[in-house]
Amino acid sequence: ISSSSTDNDATTGDIISVTIGATVPTGFEHTAAEEVKEKIGVDARISKDRGRIYFPITTDKLFQVHLLRSVDNLFVVVEEYDNYQFKESKEETLMELQELASKLPWTNALEVWKLNRTFKKKKGYRKGGNGTKGKPKSEAAGATVADTEQQELPQATSTVENQTEESVPEAESDTQDSVEAAPRAILIKFRVTCNRAGDKHSFSSNEAARDFGGAVQEFFQWKADMTKFDIEVLLNIHNVEVVIGIALTEESLHRRNISHFGPTTLRSTLCYGMLRLCKPQPSDIILDPMCGTGAIPLEGAIEFNSSFYIAGDNYDMAVNRTVNNICHIQKRRADKGSISGLPIDTVRWDLCSLPMRTSSVDIIITDMPFGKRMGSRKKNWDLYPSCLREMARVCRPGSGKAVLLTQDKKCFSKAISRMGGLWRKLHTVWVNVGGLHAGVYLLKRTEAVFGQTPEDVYESREVVNSNILSIHVLPVTE
């Protein structure tokens, strides 16, 4: 599938159409596609390579991609191959990759790269880089795990005049927004990042990056630099799917709202995905009873701001960090001249005994403690059932929902299976959080009034067991 339009004019100003690729938290590809449809108005395609979506865009609308909240990293596609026929031997394959460098339709992608840089130079540009800490890792069918490699290339000669037919973008030092087409002595620095997944490849990502990168360098006369690069060329190989792209976002903070981190702060793109899942409505009261540093409710207060968020935690450091994060965002908004106040509040509480009126909350959304990163597996065993009960109490019967992220799927499933009277599982999204496989469970609060479901009749298993020998039936209390 070719990515660019027929327009080959390299001067700026003409509108061209390209394909944008975006990396999103694995499991939230569909919610990301929804957001693209909503904010950009185009249909996104979900790649077989998990955690990636693709969509078309015209350069006059390019700035919109930086408004997407479900996206970690963005790149412009140079070329895509659905079914790349790799050669038998490693030598032939790598030779072919080298030859590819000079044949690819670089022009439009480089135009987009150039245009994208002007956004960053403009004042008030939001940090669009919602990059993940490392490049996304893909798991191959079979034993081979994807290599993520950047290859240092042999030093080229320093400044060289542009000799190729392609237009070459200005170097970092250029402070003007518009780009001159006249050739001059410039030095573009670049690197190649290769992601490879699949068990039928004869080469490693290391080798591909090295050889492909070498050919790119030769073709453009750019200089290779691992750390201070202007252009990052992406070579993504997933079985027979090959995508060559140019990065549009840097690997900057992927926790855009959070200035005061905690040990388990969730990245904002994941928070956004969870929020979209529960579809907040105007005037919804949304609770995060284990808010940590407040990442989820804060993202909600910004992006789904016609609801009201109550963030709570029992640790004083957590509530303090949450308030600090809220203040930080409010100050940033005030500095830009906007109305700064956010629809969010913070309370210190014990989630197993919430100081909230029964049936007062519309949505509960939270990141439940993982045994490995905080708390312990044994603690979860006791915590989860009491947690779920208390959440059921405060949640509005019939219309209420919960979106719960947890890595302790076994414990959670067991706890929820005993609460059929109060919670019903609607949907589960499998995600990856800091390398751990976790589940995001979307639950619906049943119509049942709290305190009158069969589970409530028997206060505890011990009580039931001790009464088995006696004849009378347990009284039905509140």
Binding interface with another protein (CB under 8 A): 282-283, 285, 305-306, 308, 310, 314, 319-320, 323, 330, 339-343, 345-350, 353-357, 360-361
For the CB of residue 236, give the shortest distance to another protein in the complex, in Å.
Answer: 41
CA 322 to chain centre: 21
- Nearest distance from C-beta of residue 438 to another protein, angstroms: 28
Of 64, 81, 73, the closest CA to residue 24 belongs to 73
Nearer to another protein, 221 or 307 (CB): 307
Closer to another protein by CB, 331 or 437: give it. 331
| Shorter beta-carbon distance to another protein: residue 85 or 353 | 353
DSSP-derived letter for residue 57 is E
Residue placing its CB nearer to another protein in the complex, 12 or 358: 358
Distance separating alpha carbons of residues 366 and 129, to the nearest angstrom:
25
| Residues 246 and 108: beta-carbon distance below 8 Å | no
DSSP type of residue 332: H
Bridge-partner residues for 266, per DSSP? none
Decide whether 273 or 297 has the Cβ nearer to another protein.
297
Q: What is the smallest separation between the CB atom of 350 and another protein, expressed in angstroms?
A: 6
| Interatomic CA distance for residues 391 and 407, integer angstroms | 19
Nearest CB to another protein, comparing residues 370 and 450: 450
364 φ/ψ sector (left φ>0, alpha ψ -120 to 50, else beta): beta
Report the SS3 class of residue 178: coil
Least distance between another protein and beta carbon 274 (Å): 22
Rank residues 220 and 304 by Cβ distance to another protein and give the closer one: 304
For the bound state, the minimum distance from the C-beta of residue 375 to another protein, rounded and expressed in Å, comes to: 18
> How many angstroms separate the Cα of 256 from the Cα of each of 102, 203, 367?
37, 37, 18
Report which of 298, 424, 431, 275 is spatially closest to residue 363, judged by C-alpha positions. Answer: 275
Sign for the CA dihedral angle at 326, 331, 336, 340 comes to: positive
Nearer to another protein by Cβ, of 267 and 445: the residue is 445
Q: Could you tell me the smallest distance in angstroms from the CB atom of residue 317 to another protein?
A: 12
* Tokens read off for 358: 């029964």
Q: How far is the CB of 17 from another protein (least distance, A)?
A: 36
Pull the structure tokens for residue 309: 């968020």
Distance of closest approach, residue 299 Cβ to another protein, in angstroms: 17
Please say which residue, 17 or 324, places its beta carbon nearer to another protein: 324
Measure the CA–CA gap between 436 and 137, rounded to whole angstroms.
12
Residue 219 CB-density burial (10 A; 0-12 exposed, 13-18 middle, 19+ buried): middle
* Other beta carbons within 10 Å of 265: 20
Residue 28 to residue 35: CA distance in whole angstroms: 11
Between 207 and 313, CB nearer to another protein: 313
Q: How far is the CB of 42 from another protein (least distance, A)?
A: 29
Residue 295 or 318 having the CB closest to another protein: 318
Q: Tokens 């030095």 belong to which residue?
A: 187
Least separation in angstroms between CB 147 and another protein: 47
The DSSP annotation for 74-117 comes to: EEEEEEEESS----SSHHHHHHHHHHHHHHS-HHHHHHHHHHHH
**Tokens found for residue 143:** 């034993």
Q: Which has the closest alpha carbon to 394: 348, 425, 358? A: 358
Q: Give the integer Cα–Cα distance in Å for 277 and 272.
A: 9
Q: How far is the CB of 370 from another protein (least distance, A)?
A: 23
